[in-house]
Amino acid sequence: MTSRRIAVIGDRFMLPQVFGTEIEKACGSGHDIRLREDAWPDEPMEHGYAVAGMDGLKEYFGSADDVVDFVGDAEILVTHLAPMSSAMLSRLPSLRMIAVSRGGPVNIDVEAARQRGVRVVNVPGRNASAVAEFTIGAILSETRLIRLGDETMRRGEWRGDLYRADRTGRELSELTVGVVGYGAIGTRVVRLLRAFGSRILVADPYVQLSGEDRSAGVCLAGFDQLLAEADVVTLHARVTDETRHFINAETLARMKPGALLVNTARGPLVDYDALHAALASGHLGGAVLDTFAVEPVPSDWELLKLPNVTLTPHIAGASVKTVTYAAQRCAEEIRRFMAGMPPISPC
């Protein structure tokens, strides 16, 4: 097989050496594989709207000149967060393929790449298992009072009263859980919840339940029914014009009093002012939030002051398995490109 020039730009999450190893396994040795490790997540990302020449890109890391210099004469680029704008593509005439090791290639001008005949592939669902598992952990942390018990003990309080029937936690087997969105993550959340014996409602107007889930008693419900009946509502929808701020004052008011809201999907799904009001009033029993419209969140953000909110810094999808899975998928896409085969996940 002809030796190919491959540039890999990873970071301190998507480790470039893991990608290099998987590419050699899939494509053989002898290729010119150059590796670069960027400083994300220890340093923040940029957004295209803030930097001239990067229009249309978002959530990327690295400057245009540095990336172009590193890619140089490479035919194949593997990137996690490194950007590739239209202007950058024009400076890289040798580039024929870009493998993006994430679900959404928002750091790439995909249309500009298509016009130049550059194949762009991604790894949809790369962290679906990790997010689903995290979601179950988040629900259990709240419904079984794990977070509350830890916080109070650290303050020197022994909350024996949490054993009282009117204050103690509830098992998932006695709860109705509403899953909003039935994609790669939502389906996995449902599968895990079934093992706990929960009553499960799914709201997604664009899909049908699998036969396995239907046989297990999972119910496809309207959004209004789900809000009214669920003790726990967990969000797994994409951000679209239809879903942006679809958790707002009106929809929160329809939720069951004392219910728990979990968002491990995307921040813009939620109107945070309305959520704060629902939590502060006691209408909602609690919320677990892993994603936010602005990241990092302001240090004086009002939601940080509420006792019935658990917040984590967008880590639901972060796992070692996510890294290895993404590397293996990208390596297979490169192998197929070298062999003249069609891509598995074209953008």
> Is-contact 181 135, C-beta < 8 A?
no
Are residues 124 and 184 in contact, defined by beta-carbon separation less than 8 angstroms? yes
- Kindly tell me if the per-residue pLDDT of 347 is higher than 80: yes
- Longest CA–CA span in the chain (Å) reads 71
Q: What is the pLDDT of residue 1?
A: 60
Sign of the CA dihedral 264, 315, 49, 326? negative
Q: Which residue, among 9, 19, 82, has the nearest Cα to 322 in the 3D structure?
A: 19
- Of 80, 119, 199, 314, which residue is the catalytic one? 314
DSSP string for residues in 77-102: EEESS--B-HHHHHT-TT--EEEESS
User: Which residue's structure tokens are 């960027």?
Assistant: 38
What whole-number distance in Å separates Cα of residue 139 and Cα of residue 262? Answer: 7
Tokens 């969140």 correspond to 297
- CB distance 203 to 178 below 8 Å: yes
Rounded to the nearest 10 degrees, the angle between the axes of helix 128-143 and helix 184-196 is: 40
Q: Which residue has the tokens 């990873």?
A: 10
Domains annotated for the chain, with CATH where assigned, are 5-126+319-338 (3.40.50.720), 128-311 (3.40.50.720)
Which pLDDT band, with edges at 50, 70 and 90, does 56 fall under? confident
Spot the catalytic one: 31, 126, 199, 266. Answer: 266
**Cα–Cα dist 210/172, whole Å:** 22
Q: Give pLDDT tens digits for 83-129.
A: 999 999 999 999 999 999 998 899 999 999 999 999 999 999 999 99
Per-residue pLDDT tens over the stretch 297-335:
999 999 999 999 999 999 999 999 999 999 999 999 999
Tens digits of residue pLDDT in 2-51 = 899 999 999 999 999 999 999 999 999 999 999 999 999 999 898 877 88
Q: Is 245 a catalytic residue?
A: no
SS3 (DSSP) at 232: strand
> For the whole model, what pTM was predicted?
0.91
Distance separating alpha carbons of residues 11 and 26, to the nearest angstrom: 21
* Amino acid type, 161: D
pLDDT, tens digit (0-9, with 9 covering 90-100), for 218-272: 999 999 999 999 999 999 999 999 999 999 999 999 999 999 999 999 999 999 9
Which residue has 């890294």 as its token pair? 323
Q: CB–CB of 266/292 below 8 Å?
A: no
In the structure, what pLDDT confidence band is assigned to residue 53 with cuts at 50, 70 and 90?
Answer: confident
145 falls in which pLDDT band (50, 70, 90)?
very high
For the cut 90, the answer to whether the pLDDT of residue 55 exceeds it is no
Query: Containing H/E element for 202?
Result: strand 199-203
Give the alpha-carbon dihedral of 269, 60, 26, 33, to 10 degrees.
Answer: -170
**295 flagged as catalytic:** yes
> Looking at residue 67, what is its pLDDT?
98
User: Given this model, what pLDDT does residue 52 score?
Assistant: 86
Q: Count CA within 13 A, CB hemisphere, residue 8.
A: 26
